[in-house]
Amino acid sequence: MPEHSFLRDLGLLLLFGFLGAWLAARRGQSVIIGYILVGAVLGPNALGAIAEATPVRTISELGVLLLMFFLGVEFSLERLKRVRAAVLFVGTGELLANLLVGFLVGYALGWGVIERAFLAGIVAMSSSGVVAKLLIEWRRTANPEAEALMGIMIFEDFIAVLYLGALAALSGEGARASPVVLSLLKAIAFYALVLGIGGRFLSRALTLALRLRSEELFALLWLALIILAGVGAAQFGLAPAAGAFLLGMISPTRESDLGERIYGRLESFRDVFLALFFLAFGMLLEPESFRRVFPLVLLVALLSILTELVITSALAFLAGFPAPVALAIGAGMIPRGEYALLYAAFGQQLGLIHSDLVQFTGWYVFVTTLLAPAFMKNTRPLYRALRRLIPTPLAFAGTLISTTLQPMTMRISSGDLSTAGCELEGGSRPPLRREGSRMLLGMVALLAVCAAALMTHPRSWRAVLILMGLLVLAGLSQALRRALRGIGAHMDRSRFLPPHADPQGAIEYTTHVAMSFLLVTLLAAALWNDLGAWTLLGLPILILIYIGRAWRLYRAWHCPTHPSDS
């Protein structure tokens, strides 16, 4: 009967989804892989057992909402505050690196600007749904990397909405989508509303739910709150999952009576609807397209994995995380998911990208999801192998920067270093947070200048933009030097193995590296229209120069020229 077709499709999906997940678990894989493969086989693009996928996709969105809500319940806002600067540092660098990978691949393939921009967005955004599922499945939500991972995911969700607005403006669809500035203001308003007002008042009001003795009414109330939180986020231009996650963050913790009751009533709902989400995703794949897009999938997946393991892990280490934790953060950023599919669907709807790019997106997400658990499970042996392979000069250069930045980016147990400052001429001691805000504004201004330079063709205008960028860099340099001036007393000198280590030398080194890197980035953006990918040669040259400087510093600390200096 046609009126029963949806129930039949739902029953088939759940039954075969169970079998696929069971087989995947027996093979040591995540159950996500089993769900995706079953959805691909049963979907309209293969056997056609499920002819209409839209209703399943609609109800499966509740699975992501419940998943993110539960992760928010286990997530510690206080622990996030301790690493918020590190999250911004790592998240910004990780996004820029992955956007660059997608942009360069599209450039090498000869694609137009719009398709390059869509590919960059598809490649750049990691999957909070997949990562959250794996962390919960492996009971790793209390691990040191969990807070940083989910903090970076929240940051990416915020940027993803803005990037979607930028794609709309780039494609001439600005009238059909919120402008970028308006999207930014709406997103900020939602975060402030939930974490500010909600964090103070709503969490107290929610404890009134304990008065509900009926378990049925209790479950009904919380399902309604989670769904409405997602709808509220969507109204502000954010992903619905962000709203559910923030609701979980301001809700009572799992250790409380209310938290235990929430888990007891809603955990089964979460698992069922989340299984439907991955099954519905699998139905988007076309098996016959795999051969056509496989070379590109293999190339981009390899580049993405290397980017996360090398660049993201390095950024996390430089931000002050221990090396094994930094590598775990990089491995956790490998899977792609929701936003990649969203960008592909948006581009296809507007007719801006070809169909193979849509299929590439599906298989790319599948491959990264397939490989991510292997890397996330084996970060310890991978760390031991990399430790033997990394040259000592490179490792020491990273330690110099990491030890210098850690008091700025992390709040450690020995004290709240966010208020550590620097002595000025008048004896005042302004908080480091003020300098951090100035540096953040400066970085945003510099990124805006670089983006404008990339899109500007007349050389005279690009010269003006270079001058503007140099002025911004001068301000950034002053703010960074003021912030680092009082850091020496808070640095962990035990990380410097040489006996005559000088913290001030590490501070100067870090300042020079940061400013030189930003200068090369500005020049590369300004000269891209003239020299193309050749402008990127400045980055490896700069890295080699500063590795050499670090090694000279290492030898000077081991064998100082003047014994009296020791």
Backbone angles phi, psi at 469, to 5 degrees: -65, -40
Give the length of the chain: 566
Q: What is the residue whose two structure tokens read 């501070």?
A: 507
Q: How far apart are CA 69 and CA 520, in angstroms?
A: 42
Helices (H), 333-419: 338-349, 355-377, 379-389, 392-409
Contact 506, 476 (CB under 8 A): no
Sequential pLDDT tens for the chain (566 residues): 455 677 887 888 889 989 988 888 787 676 777 888 888 888 887 787 776 767 777 777 787 788 778 777 766 566 566 667 778 888 888 888 898 899 889 988 888 878 888 899 899 888 777 777 777 777 776 676 777 887 887 777 767 766 766 676 655 544 444 455 566 667 677 777 777 766 666 656 666 666 677 778 888 888 888 888 888 887 776 667 778 877 887 776 666 667 677 777 787 887 888 788 778 877 877 788 888 889 999 999 999 999 999 999 999 888 888 888 889 899 989 988 767 877 787 777 677 788 788 889 888 988 898 888 888 888 888 888 888 888 888 888 888 888 888 777 765 433 343 333 343 334 444 445 566 667 777 877 887 788 778 777 788 888 888 999 899 999 888 888 887 776 766 777 677 766 667 788 888 888 889 899 889 988 988 888 888 878 888 888 988 998 888 888 888 887 665 544 43
Q: Tokens 């669907």 — which residue?
A: 345
Judged by DSSP in three states, 431 sits in strand
Supply the DSSP string of 102-143, one letter for each residue: HHHHHHHTT--HHHHHHHHHHHH-B-HHHHHHHHHHTT-TTS
The amino acid at 246: L
Element (H, E) at 352: none
The span from the first CA to the last CA of the chain, in angstroms, equals: 88
Domains and CATH numbers, the chain: 2-388 (1.20.1530.20), 391-565 (no CATH)
Helix (H, G, I), strand (E, B) or coil at 45: coil
- Enter the pTM of the model: 0.74
Cα dihedral 23, 24, 27, 28 sign: negative
What is d(CA 359, CA 114) in angstroms, rounded to the nearest whole number?
17
Structure tokens at 247: 């609701």
